[in-house]
């Protein structure tokens, strides 16, 4: 898997991605999206697939705000998971064979 991102580009914006200790304990969230500071925070203890799913979820939250999509949260959740699946499939070994 590629290194965890420091930022994401979304439209004309650069979204900062920060690892934050204690997010799950303090905010009962694996990740958060802050529209005012254009920052995604991901709990520092999350790793692997869960951390990446969380990034994609918060990125969809950011897109929902930026593009004024007004998606309900359950649709943000499924879209984040599907986008993560597409992203992960790009890294599969079968992509580089034959
Ligand atoms: Zn959410």
Q: How many structural domains does the chain have?
A: 1
In the reported structure, the alpha carbon of residue 40 is separated from the centroid of ligand 1 by a whole-number distance in angstroms of 11
Does some domain include residue 49? Answer: yes
Which residues neighbour 62 within 8 Å (Cβ) at sequence distance 6 or greater? 8, 10, 15, 33, 35, 38, 40
What's the gap in Å between 2 CA and the centre of ligand 1?
A: 23
CATH of the domain at 23: 3.30.2010
Round to whole Å and give the CA distance between 24 and 45: 9
Looking at the DSSP bridge assignments, the partners of residue 15 are: 8
pLDDT digits (tens, 9 = 90+) for 43-62: 999 999 999 999 999 999 99
Across the beta sheet with 31-34, the strand order is: 7-10, 13-20, 39-43, 31-34
pTM assigned to the model: 0.93
Tokens standing for residue 44: 């520092």
What is the tens place of the pLDDT at every residue in 25-39? Answer: 998 999 999 999 999
- State residue 40's pLDDT score: 98
Residue 98 pLDDT: 65
- Does residue 79 fall inside a structural domain? yes
How far away, in angstroms, is 73 Cα from ligand 1 center?
6
pLDDT for 72 equals: 98
Would residue 2 count as lying in a domain? Answer: no
* Distance in Å, CA 58 to ligand 1 centroid: 6
Q: What are the pLDDT digits (tens) for 58-92?
A: 999 999 999 999 999 999 999 999 999 999 999 89
Distance of CA 82 from the midpoint of ligand 1 (Å): 14
Return the percent helix, strand and coil in the chain, to nearest 5: 45, 20, 35
Instruction: Report the C-alpha gap between 5 and 16 in whole angstroms.
Output: 9
Strands 13-20 and 39-43: parallel
Domain assignment present for residue 98? The answer is: no
96 within domain boundaries? no
Give the per-residue pLDDT at 96.
85
């Amino acid at each position: 898997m590629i290194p965890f991102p420091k930022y994401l580009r979304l439209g004309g914006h650069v979204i900062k991605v920060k690892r934050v200790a204690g997010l799950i304990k303090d905010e009962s969230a694996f990740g958060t999206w802050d529209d005012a500071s254009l920052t995604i925070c991901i709990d520092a203890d999350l790793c692997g697939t869960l951390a990446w799913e969380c990034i994609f979820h918060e990125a969809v939250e950011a897109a929902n705000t930026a593009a004024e999509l007004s998606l309900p949260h359950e649709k943000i959740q499924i879209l984040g998971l599907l986008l993560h699946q597409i992203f992960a499939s790009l890294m599969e070994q079968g992509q580089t064979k034959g």
